Amino acid sequence: MSLVERVKHALTRDDRVDAEQLVARLDALQRFLRVTDPYLPDNDLVAAHTLVERAGSRLALSQDHTVVALAGSTGSGKSSLFNALARLKLSPVGVRRPTTGVAHACVWGPLEQANKLLDWVGVLPRQRFIRESALDGDDEAALRGLVLLDLPDFDSIERGHRLEVDRLLGLVDQVVWVVDPQKYGDRVLHNAYLKQFKQHSDITIVVLNQADRLSPADTEIVLTDLKRLLVEDGLTDVPALATSAKQPGMLTELRAALEQTVAERQAALRRLSGDLDAVAEQLEKTIGPPAAEDEVDRATVRQLSDALAASAGVPAVASATANAYRHRAVASTGWPLIRGVRKLRPDPLKRLHLSTEKTEPSTDLVPVSRTSLPEADAAQKSAVGLSVRAVAARAAAPIPEVWAPALNTASRSRLGDLPDALDRAVAKTDLGMSRKPIWWTVVGLLQLLFTLAAVVGLGWLIAGYAVRIIGLPELNDPKVGDVPLPTLLLLGGLLLGLLLAMLLRPIVNLGAKRAGRRAEQRLRTSVTEVAREYVVAPVREVLNGYAQAREALTVVRSE
């Protein structure tokens, strides 16, 4: 296989870049940026944003033109090579440093069709030249569509020249690196430039210029060493050619490579594809293993709920519910006279401004009265803060550390709204105290019956004493055994009422404990809903963004 054939093979070794697939990868990168912009540091996304903008501009411009740049150091002879390829003296050549201060462009074909592309690249109108003319016939037809740039020296003592080189290298479709036998191993060239082009080996050519100064044997030795350095740079398949601006015969291989590039019309797509590969490689550090939206486990949510429950006063409300149960039970089942005294005492739940009626499900638009629960103390607030950070830490555990700040910020994003949300949740919770147990009514009727019996017996006895006092014949009170019926009614009513109250006391206490536990369970459920809405939901939103970003980056990395 001849060298020209090897060059053509090197430039066409990969499959053609599918334009639709390239656009799909760019769309995926845009999705990645749209999802990650709120969460990741700007510095990590600058290259991706730049690529999306540059790719959109390049694809909107002429696809019939291929922009190839000649890049090299001072004295490498790239301007002479530029003139030799154009077969015209277009770019100034000299020995002073620097010689090339601005980029020169030579266009094969009509200049008008390439002007928009050159405007985007940033080549001044006075530095644009047309190569092909009627006098050439078909001699230059193979390069029609080529836009060849002669760049400033990348090692120029003028900082503006170096910045211009860096800018143009990010825009061109293909780069021909021009080195000379003296400085082909320059550290700046290899470390600052060639190694950075390892993702662009399919649009990179390296030429050993001024090879006419070497013997054929020395040329082969230098080329072999140059290829070794390229392998170390990660550019294994990049062709390395020997050229000379002074001997037209030594430009045949380079010209053939450029003709192949122009004919394929693939350089722009390959450049963008390589840029996508490079950006995807940079973004890989932001994406790790998959993370489910429910990455926050139950134990962590339970810890958060416990802290929020303590902060919201759930134990106090549960205790008040138990006391309210006792208060209401005694008021319903105690002696009628004691009931009146009991009703004068405030209900423990009403004292906290908590509704004792069953509430219908309501939305946040329905106003709810604030409770009188005390504000959380410093220790409770600290416990809430630690639990919120634990949620963020648990969510961040399996994914790259770069997401940790976003998760921490998300977990605390609604922290200021938590006190009102918790108070509202407690106020809206049905504590199960709206319905009076049936047995309270039955016992209350029994107590009324016993009290009525005692009142009847007392009245009967008072009537008997009154009759004797006024001297009337004594009443013949019926007896039950040896005990007069009035005395039996009085004592029986009192004793049965006391006995029933004593028997019911442990039952009331048991019911109060059950009511307290039921209220605490319902309150914790409400508090857990607040925890999920105000802390866990924002964290899961970030995790969902991570999952979408991971999916999008998978498409960006696809070949």
Same domain, 279 and 323: no
Same domain, 108 and 229: yes
Same domain, 335 and 270: no
Which residues does 249 contact at the CB level (< 8 Å), separation at least 6? none
- Residue 411 forms part of a structural domain: yes
Same domain, 201 and 325: no
- Residue 91 forms part of a structural domain: yes
Same domain, 343 and 270: no
Write the pLDDT tens digit of every residue in 213-239: 999 999 999 999 999 999 999 999 899
Same domain, 280 and 407: no
Q: What is the rounded distance in angstroms from the CA atom of residue 312 to the CA atom of residue 526? A: 11
- Residue 413 forms part of a structural domain: yes
In terms of Cβ atoms closer than 10 Å to its own Cβ (0-12, 13-18, 19+), residue 102 is middle
| E-strand stretches of 224-356 | 240-242
Residue with the larger pLDDT of the pair 20 and 359:
20
pLDDT at residue 50 tops 90:
yes
Give the chain's domain count: 2
Span 339-345, average pLDDT: 69
Q: What is the rounded distance in angstroms from the CA atom of residue 367 to the CA atom of residue 382? A: 29
Task: Outline where 313-437 has alpha helix (H).
Answer: 314-333, 336-343, 348-351, 378-396, 404-411, 418-428
Q: How many CA atoms lie within 13 A of 68 on its CB side?
A: 34
Q: What is the rounded distance in angstroms from the CA atom of residue 324 to the CA atom of residue 322? A: 5
Q: What rounded mean pLDDT belongs to the chain?
A: 86
Q: What is the rounded distance in angstroms from the CA atom of residue 125 to the CA atom of residue 408? A: 53
Q: Is the dihedral of CA 393, 399, 404, 406 positive or negative?
A: negative
Q: What is the rounded distance in angstroms from the CA atom of residue 230 to the CA atom of residue 300? A: 53
Find the CATH number of the domain harbouring 98: 3.40.50.300
Write the pLDDT tens digit of every residue in 479-508: 777 777 878 888 888 888 888 888 888 888
- Residue 291 forms part of a structural domain: no
- Residue 260 forms part of a structural domain: yes
pLDDT at residue 47 tops 90:
yes
Among 286, 312, 337, identify where a domain stops: 286
Same domain, 37 and 105: yes
Q: In the 8-state DSSP scheme, what is residue 265?
A: T
Same domain, 528 and 427: yes
Task: Check residue 97 and give its pLDDT.
Answer: 45
Task: Check residue 9 and give its pLDDT.
Answer: 52
Residue with the larger pLDDT of the pair 530 and 332:
530
Write the pLDDT tens digit of every residue in 356-368: 665 555 555 455 6
pLDDT at residue 394 tops 70:
yes
- Residue 450 forms part of a structural domain: no
For every residue of 497-525, DSSP letters joined together read HHHHHHHHHHHHHHHHHHHHHHHHHHHHH
pLDDT at residue 7 tops 60:
no
Poorest-confidence range of 53-62, 247-256, 459-468, 544-553?
A: 459-468
Neighbours of 481 (CB within 10 A): 6
Poorest-confidence range of 270-274, 302-306, 328-332, 513-517?
A: 328-332
- Residue 470 forms part of a structural domain: no
Residue with the larger pLDDT of the pair 132 and 272:
272
Same domain, 247 and 98: yes
Same domain, 274 and 315: no
Query: Where on the phi/psi map is residue 491: left (φ > 0), alpha (ψ -120 to 50), or beta?
Result: alpha
Span 32-52, average pLDDT: 95
Residue with the larger pLDDT of the pair 8 and 184:
184
Task: Check residue 261 and give its pLDDT.
Answer: 94
pLDDT at residue 293 tops 70:
no
pLDDT at residue 5 tops 80:
no
Confidence of residue 170 (pLDDT cuts 50, 70, 90): very high
Among 262, 286, 310, identify where a domain stops: 286
Q: Are strands 204-208 and 479-480 parallel, antiparallel or unpaired?
A: unpaired
Residue 507 token pair: 């039952």
Confirm if 283 and 49 have CB atoms less than 8 A apart.
no
Write the pLDDT tens digit of every residue in 237-260: 899 999 998 888 899 999 999 999
Same domain, 191 and 51: yes
Span 379-384, average pLDDT: 90
Range of the domain at 376: 298-440+507-557
DSSP element (H, E) containing 107: strand 104-107
Among 259, 286, 313, identify where a domain stops: 286
Same domain, 232 and 320: no
Separation of CA 197 from chain center: 31
- Residue 321 forms part of a structural domain: yes
Q: Which residues pair with 105 in a beta bridge?
A: 128, 149
Cα–Cα distances (Å) from 437 to 5, 322, 329, in that order, read: 97, 15, 9
